[in-house]
Amino acid sequence: MILETKGLSKRFGQQYALKNVNLKILPGEIHGLIGENGAGKSTLIKILTGVYSRDEGQVLWEGQAVELPNPHASRRLGINVIHQNRHLVPQFNAIENVYLGLDYEKKAKVAIDWKKMRSEVEKIMEELSIEVPLNVPAMYLTPPQKTLVEIIRGMMTDCKLFILDEPTASLTDKETEILFDLIMRLKQKGTSVLYVTHRMEEIFKLTDRITVLKNGELVSTVNTKETDLAGLVALMTDNWESKKRVTDHKMGADLLRVTGLASADGKVKDASFAAREGEILGIFGLSGSGRTELLEAIYGLRKSARGEVMLNGQPYHRRTPRESLKRGMVLICEDRRGQAIVESLSIRKNTVLSRLDHYAKAGVMDSKQEISDTQDQIRALDIKTKGINQVVRELSGGNQQKVVFAKALLTEPKVFLCDEPTQGVDIRTREEIHNLLREKAEQGNAVVFVSSDLQETLDVVDNIVILTEGRTTRVLKNENLTSEQVLAHCYAGTQAKESSR
């Protein structure tokens, strides 16, 4: 046993992020770690690398109980981690980056011995039979080269456990293969690897054993050869069936139709779907699948490269937020404080923000109308406030979100794009928002609903569009649908792509 945790727990406030986790990693094995968002994967990694301190339990390293008070301590034991976002100094070359945090080789204890450092790095490269240009600043290296530099850095000290956190997130298929090759070689050298990912095909390709986390608890550790996709998904998620929906309300014409949409930055690759009058359409995908980016591209907040948007039966090409609002489409942003509200302004000024021109006569604001409309919204949405002039910063998360909705409703939209509309709000407000959206749909509007909470999505929506790595793969009718089925489609999407190569 290279590493073992016994009864490991971590709390944030009252909430357990990890609970009684008993993880065992064998020498020379590739150990997969999977789980849904919030299952505790990154918390576990952070404890093992000395970033977080544990609240309960023990960490055993080669059978000895150890303390991991800081990243340095864990590195000294032989634990190295490569994060999803690589930690390299862009201006430094590979050698300088490899020696970050290590003592530089010195001549006569003063001058840095570059020659010695270079030969040390070359030695490691030879051992792993990899090749990285050493004289080039890291910013000019390709993503896999950067990963290699980090791996070299890890191997400089006596590394016995390598933790790789979503290492392929920014790699192309070919680059991924190079990385896999290297991981296999590390394994042959006897180094253990803890491999964290949500890409199932990688899990099956690489790992010897797989540990599944769910809600902070270790569900099971299984041998990769003895399991399959369905088995893993079943372990990862509580399986519940969606409440059988009353879908007797009639759906009308397509209000929003998206065809082959791709964003300029490539986060959205090929999205097509339609949302109808009276429909709440869910878009569900794993993290990084491009949900937020898709909504932003439709709304005109993010540049599109290809594809068509039809709004209200009209083609809508040059999309900007301003034009979207004018045409009756509103976006409730995921990032409330960053994108949806102006915290320093009052409720009133936020509420009317999208309709300033409407309230202005020859440029001068009609305060009376503005005040009465704001008061109407406060009453209708039951916003808890000291008054319309209270600064939004002072409101609770739920009430802030209601202000965002008040602002949206004043524009009288036909199409609602809602990105995590209940994030960070209390249970009651959450319920109120669900009811509001249902009500708006029943009045003949279309609601596009995005939530990373699958259960919430299944409770709220009529149909679900599956989004996988920027592509819409499937539309599911939300009747007797189970969470497993939905997740299976999400993961299947990545596999289908894999096999089609």
Partner 1 sequence: MIKRVDYRNLTKSYGTILAGIVVTVVFSILRPDAFATLANLINITRQISLLVVIAIGATLVMSIEEFDLSVGAMASLGGVLAAKMAVAGVPIFLCFLVPPIVAFGIGFVNGWIVTKFRVLSFIVTLAMSTIIGGFTFWFTGGATVFQNIPRSFRYVGSTTVFGIPLLTIIMFALVVLFWFIMKHTSFGRKLYAIGGNEVAAEVSGINVRKYKILTFSLCASLAAFTGILMSSRLGSAHPTGGDGLFLQSYAAVFLGRTVFKEGVPNIWGTFVGAAILGILANGLTIMQVPTFLRDLLTGFIIILAVIVQKVGRDRD
Over the Cα atoms of the chain, what is R_g? 26
Closest CA to 97 of 82, 108, 77, 79: 82
Supply the DSSP symbol for 479: S
Binding of partner 1 at residue 423 (CB under 8 A)?
A: no
Binding of partner 1 at residue 147 (CB under 8 A)?
A: no
- In the list 220, 272, 339, 495, the residue contacting partner 1 (rule: CB under 8 A) is 339
Task: Tell me the C-alpha to C-alpha distance, in Å, between residue 431 and each of 407, 409, 480, 482.
Answer: 19, 18, 22, 21
Q: Which helix (H) or strand (E) holds 194?
A: strand 192-196
Q: Which helix (H) or strand (E) holds 418?
A: strand 415-419
CB of 147 vs partner 1, minimal distance in Å = 30
Binding of partner 1 at residue 399 (CB under 8 A)?
A: no
| Helix-helix angle 397-410:427-442, to 10 degrees | 20
Give the span between the Cα atoms of 64 and 363, in whole angstroms. 74
Give the span between the Cα atoms of 54 and 456, in whole angstroms. 31
Which amino acid is located at 96 in the chain? E
Q: Could you tell me which stretch among 120-128, 168-176, 333-341, 448-456 binds partner 1 (CB under 8 A)?
A: 333-341
- In the list 13, 63, 315, 363, the residue contacting partner 1 (rule: CB under 8 A) is 363
Binding of partner 1 at residue 465 (CB under 8 A)?
A: no
Binding of partner 1 at residue 321 (CB under 8 A)?
A: yes
- In the list 333, 395, 447, 454, the residue contacting partner 1 (rule: CB under 8 A) is 333
Residue 237 or 374 with smaller CB distance to partner 1: 374
Q: Could you tell me which stretch among 165-173, 200-208, 309-317, 364-372 binds partner 1 (CB under 8 A)?
A: 364-372
Give the span between the Cα atoms of 77 and 154, in whole angstroms. 12
Spatial CB neighbours of 335, under 8 Å, sequence gap ≥ 6: none
Residue 42 or 351 with smaller CB distance to partner 1: 351
Residue 364 or 427 with smaller CB distance to partner 1: 364
Total binding residues toward partner 1, as defined by CB under 8 A: 31
Residue 263 or 473 with smaller CB distance to partner 1: 263
Closest CA to 477 of 493, 458, 494, 492: 458
Place of tokens 């190295």: 80
Residue 389 or 435 with smaller CB distance to partner 1: 389
Binding of partner 1 at residue 251 (CB under 8 A)?
A: no
Binding site for partner 1 (CB under 8 A): 299, 301, 320-322, 324-326, 331, 333, 338-345, 349, 353-354, 356-357, 359-360, 363-365, 367, 407, 411
